[in-house]
Structure 1
């Protein structure tokens, strides 16, 4: 059974879902919300209490100030509040893409609240040797959004990231067709993309994190920008990345296989 809840946090109201029983595990993206993790959460609910949520400003989680940017730090504080709401001292956390940046910030800001931390394909552009060029590319995407709208911006975002537009859809996980999809895409480009890709993880804090941080990478992600960033983060943390099925969103087509690898990481730490 899946139950739906809301939680008031500073500046927002977060919608979240809980299913299953067992150790607490949070699955998250950004801007991808709870719906994107439904199949994976169902697989893991056999032996975990799985909590998924819509990140602040997206889908069912409205913000008080629509002009406020969403940063990994703010989203990390929201996740710490969700752990509180679940009545837990700590939780295992899995974050992918922008959600991977969230769990990296969570591990640095709230190290006592996390056990195993899995950052799947984090877009840590600031760690790349061509960071200045990457930064300029993101600025061009945001400028394109403000000038030409979300579809034009998404085309540039896909080219910049190496994504297959037909396979990957919009940043939220599906082509922007509904009114909510359009709103989410607009918020992503105007108030999340720049702040997320400018975030610089605290490597010293991450290596000191009690349970450690595991970097995940898709088996089919070789052509993606996040393939580079994931390997660079893993190098700085001193541990090789763990391969997960599929590409950047491999948990969508391969939820059973993805859950199998995720369980192994949670049980062994690698």
Structure 2
């Protein structure tokens, strides 16, 4: 078992961030800089992609491995009796839900943004199959075709004719975080169905305003009701954290520190 990879910035209570996709924290600098005025921001990099491991072999990922790694990061960052805030987005939100279920004793408040754990939905089996098909299209036709189908799945509409393409070489795949996500993360993480653990930590489920009417907004709303958790809308869509960094960081800070009314 390798040591977990993470970066630390700022001062204050610990806030662990678990990125989406293949866990590469690219693009999160503006958000972590803004959050560091209020928190000790710990950005977890599950595969070490930003720490010299991009290009190295990657196996199919397990949600539990990501959350176990996150727990080890918290063990290194927290003192005796201390607890942390946790934020996860997309695949990172799935890992944060598992962290809450299995290691909730170290957590204070968890915010998960659009976790693709579609198995919670009444039509969850059909949605999980749709994501498996995205992964199959990636393997057969490459990134452009998979991306077009993924957009259709998220928007809950039939896909138009997919662009033709070729599968990536193994070398290309290992140096492309999006390809790593499609090859090794998307299928197992969308197959995961979160369970409620014994934790006393507060849970907030979030979705982007631009995602209204889409699959992951529906998933977030359903999950929040099923878990009797708070629901908060964040600016932008599924990648609103990259599109609206300042507003996103401000709302996340207010959500953790209690300035956002519960819904």
Post-superposition Cα deviations, 1:154-206, rounded to whole Å, max 9, x if no partner, equal: 2211221139xxxxxxxxxxxxxx95885322321121111000101003x1x
Counterpart position of 1:5? none
- Confirm whether residue 128 of structure 1 aligns to residue 118 of structure 2: no
Q: Where do 5+ consecutive residues of structure 2 fail to align?
A: 157-170
Q: Match for residue 151 of structure 1?
A: 144
Alignment of 1:83 with 2:74, yes or no, is: yes
Structure 1 pair 209–129 and aligned structure 2 pair: CA distance change class (3 A): same
1:191 alignment counterpart: 184
Cα distance in structure 1, aligned partners of 2:118 and 2:208: 17
Corresponding residue for residue 74 of structure 1: 65
**Contact kept? 1:69, 1:192, Cα under 8 Å:** yes
SS in 1 for 2:9: strand
| CA apart distance, 1:87 | 4.1
Find the counterpart in structure 1 of residue 245 from structure 2.
255
Verify: 1:231 aligned to 2:221, yes or no.
Answer: yes
Which residue matches 1:137? 130
Q: Is contact 2:110–2:201 with CA below 8 Å preserved after alignment?
A: yes
Matched, 1:210 2:196: no
CA separation in 1, counterparts of 2:7 and 2:102? 24
Rounded to whole Å, the distance in 1 between the matches of 2:30 and 2:174 is 20
In structure 2, C-alpha distance between the alignment counterparts of 1:135 and 1:57, rounded to whole Å: 27
Between 229-238 and 26-35, report the one with greater CA deviation.
26-35
Aligned to 2:92: 99
Q: 1:266 to 1:131 in 2, by over 3 A?
A: same
* Cα-to-partner distance string for 1:115-169 (whole Å, 9 max, x where unaligned): 1011111112101121222122112111112212222222211221139xxxxxx
**1:37 paired residue number:** 28
Asked if 2 retains the 8 angstrom alpha-carbon contact of 1:13 and 1:61, the reply is no
Separation (CA, whole Å) in 1 of partners of 2:133 and 2:71 = 33
Aligned length: 242
Report if the CA contact (8 A) 1:14-1:61 is conserved.
no
TM-score, structure 2 normalization = 0.83
Q: Counterparts of 2:57 and 2:226 in 1: how far apart (Å)? A: 35
Give TM-score scaled by structure 1 length.
0.81
Q: Report what 2:165 is aligned to.
A: none
List alignment gaps of at least 5 residues for structure 1: 1-9, 164-177
Structure number with greater CO (CA < 8 Å, separation at least 6) is 2
Q: C-alpha displacement at 1:23, in angstroms?
A: 0.5
Q: Does the 8 Å CA contact 2:58/2:174 hold for their aligned counterparts?
A: no
Cα RMSD of the aligned pairs, angstroms, is: 2.4
